[in-house]
Amino acid sequence: MSIHIQVQTDDFNVGDEHNTLCSNNKSDGAVVTFTGLVREFSSGDNVIALELEHYPGMTEQLLQSIAEQAQTRWQLARICIIHRVGYLALGEQIVFVGVTSRHRQAAFEGAQFIMDYLKNHATFWKKEHFKDSSNWVEFKQSDKQALGKWEK
């Protein structure tokens, strides 16, 4: 079992990360990835960029702990979590979560669990930049509700 956690300003390459998850891995039949991107429409106005900051040290620990929790609940041989910080323009990649498992159900659920927990617990803060203004993103209740399905 392996866990790879990375918080970085640099971009990442989904193809490369996918290859790393699959290489020398003959027992896993399922790979699920999630990629989050800076998208155009948020709360009405046109977002032109995001700015992300985090709590260095604590963030990595939290992501590691979320990945370990996922491995306790599902048979996930490999987990990769990459989260970018800094100034990210429209269309840029923000976050990557990739997991491998023997079974597709576990891979889907594990990846979704990690994203739901990351959204609720990982110490990142996001600011949206518009043409003439900027504002800090508010925590979304829908993200809190998303945790409901894992609490049983």
Partner 1 sequence: MVVGSAINPNDVLSSTGKVELLFFGQLKERLKCSKLSLEITQPLSISELKLKLVSQYPHWQPWLEERELLAALNQTMSSSDEIVKAGDELAFFPPVTGG
Under the binding rule (CB under 8 A), the answer on residue 138 touching partner 1 is yes
Give the shortest CB-139-to-partner 1 separation in angstroms.
4
Triad 58, 4, 18: Cα angle to 5°: 135
Give the shortest CB-58-to-partner 1 separation in angstroms.
4
Buried b (16+ CB within 10 A) or exposed e, 63-96: beebbeebbeebebbbbbbbbbbeebeeeebbbb
Under the binding rule (CB under 8 A), the answer on residue 144 touching a copy of itself is no
Alpha helices in 4-140 (DSSP H): 14-22, 58-73, 104-121
Under the binding rule (CB under 8 A), the answer on residue 95 touching partner 1 is yes
Q: Report how far residue 118's alpha carbon sits from residue 13's, in angstroms, rounded to the nearest whole number.
A: 20
Which range in 18-26, 41-49, 72-80, 112-120 contacts partner 1 by CB under 8 A? Answer: 112-120
Under the binding rule (CB under 8 A), the answer on residue 13 touching a copy of itself is yes
Q: Which is nearer to a copy of itself, 6 or 35 (CB)?
A: 35
Under the binding rule (CB under 8 A), the answer on residue 75 touching a copy of itself is no
Q: Report how far residue 3's alpha carbon sits from residue 151's, in angstroms, rounded to the nearest whole number.
A: 23
DSSP state, residue 139? P
Of the residues 37, 43, 135, 144, which one makes contact with a copy of itself according to CB under 8 A:
37
Please state the separation of Cα 32 from the chain's center in Å. Answer: 12
Footprint on this chain of partner 1 (rule: CB under 8 A): 36, 52-55, 57-58, 61, 83, 94-95, 104, 115, 118-126, 136-140
